[in-house]
Amino acid sequence: MDKDEQMPLGNLRVLELGTLLAGPFTGRLLADFGAEVIKVEPPGKADPMRGWGKEKDGTGLWWPVQSRNKKSITLNLREKEGQDVLKELVEEADILIENFRPGTMEKWNLSYEELSEINPGLIMVRTSGFGQTGPYKERAGFGSVGEAMGGLRYVTGYNDRAPTRTGISIGDTLSALFATIGCLVAVNERQISGKGQVVDTALYESVFSVMESLIPDYLLADFVRERMGNILPGVAPSNIYQTKDETYVVIGANADGVFRRLCEAMGREELAEDPEYATHEARGKNMKKLDLLIEEWTKTLDSDELLQLLEKKGVPSGLIYSAKDIVEDPHYQARDMIVNVDHPELGDFPMPGVVPKLSRTPGKVNFPGAEKMGKHNEDIFRDVLNYSERDIEELQKKGII
């Protein structure tokens, strides 16, 4: 995909270094809105993400989603000649994304100080386990470690068993979201100053940033939030409830007005006036008793009947969706949240649509991640750097690309 000035980020060229999740997911978010993202892999050493997820006919099913809309080149950054090529690309770029351990770029003579001399407007987005400074900066850090040290794992699960993960790589995804925000902030600031800067995103800090009132709860109220399963401490009703057909429905009715409507749906209007449940504080104190009352009622109804009644009364509720439920849901379909793109080996390839939705200049998915490493080598080295065919052949012979 060439630069598309009609797309909201179509004026930006991005170099994406690094592997797996956090850095590449940042690149995906920028590419969704038109940035020309050039994914760089070492020749002969593919990003491990190419093999992650389930396989179909020998093709990993995660890579086409993670690397959608990106061009793919190979470049050996461990060699000086490869570093020199990257520096030429930096002259033509707006943003460089990397998620190596701190010090790696410096070891390769690719520090921000060196690169910004080449391109003072360059924005370097750096994602690592613990950030570019501090006593832990040189530690290896995956998303799982960020989730643990950011406080999320401690509060995830049930209090009678060990902490658990959330089911997805949420630490990496959160860091990518914050890195993307930082990147766009820096792009906007560059319009004022004309200068680039470093966006320093740490996995553990990205997780910690969404931990709500965890710290003031502890320091000001001497309260340590513990694992609470499906409930929120002091917030009720907000839980999952079993139905007659043995499924589970999420109901969130903790606001006074919504709780009153839930009571009407239950045919128990008197509960809204009961001192044990009439206020937010009272419902929090009597959470267990209230949840039992609600589940006694939900078990008398099939899930479809229950959800229709709750919808009619304006009570937030929903099934706990599996992938099958998502695919079959008409609302997902109406909002283009599952899109199909043509994969050269697998044909129609379904993947999540673009989020968020812009009314005038929406993002879009043009093609899946490149099935072959270096698919766009000639395009980038010839068209961006004006290399001749002979130049490209020489670099290939030397193992630089």
Active centre residues (catalytic): 172
Q: Domain 13-210+336-398 adopts which CATH fold?
A: Rossmann fold (3.40.50)
Residue 397 CA to residue 130 CA, distance in Å, equals 38
Identity (one letter) of the amino acid at 196? G
Edge to edge, what strands does the sheet with 238-242 contain? 238-242, 248-252, 317-319
pLDDT digits (tens, 9 = 90+) for 234-283: 899 999 999 999 999 999 999 999 999 999 999 999 999 999 999 999 99
Q: Are 94 and 187 in contact (CB under 8 A)?
A: yes
Q: What is the DSSP string of 108-174?
A: TT--HHHHHHH-TT-EEEEEESS-SSSTTTTS---HHHHHHHTTTGGGSS-TTS-----SS-HHHHH
Q: Look at residue 233 in the predicted model and tell me its pLDDT.
A: 83
The tens digit of pLDDT for each residue in 209-240 reads: 999 999 999 999 999 999 999 998 889 999 99
CA–CA distance, 176 with 78 (Å, rounded to integer): 25
Residue 5: pLDDT band with limits 50, 70, 90? low
Q: Which of 251, 170, 245 is nearest to 209 (CA)?
A: 170
Q: Is the pLDDT confidence value at 299 over 80?
A: yes
Judge whether 13-210+336-398 and 238-321 match in fold. no
Give which of 253, 320, 250 is closest to 280, Cα–Cα: 253
Per-domain residue ranges for the chain?
Answer: 13-210+336-398, 238-321
| 197 CB burial (10 A radius; 0-12, 13-18, 19+) | middle
Sign of the Cα torsion 244, 246, 247, 249 reads positive
**pLDDT-derived band at 6, boundaries 50, 70, 90:** confident
Q: What single letter denotes the amino acid at residue 175?
A: S
Helix axes 303-313, 256-266, angle to 10 degrees: 130
- Helices 287-298, 256-266: axis angle to 10 degrees equals 40
The answer to whether 26 touches 14, Cβ cutoff 8 Å, is no
Burial 22-50 (b: 16+ CB within 10 A, else e): bbbbbbbbbbbbbbbbbbbbbbeebbebb
Please give the pLDDT value at position 4.
Answer: 65
Predicted model pTM: 0.93
- CATH class name, domain 238-321: alpha beta
Cα–Cα distance for residue pair 81/201, rounded to 1 Å: 29
How large is the average pLDDT for residues 161-166?
A: 94
Give residue-wise pLDDT tens across range 181-201.
999 999 999 999 999 999 999
Containing 371, the helix (H) or strand (E) segment is none
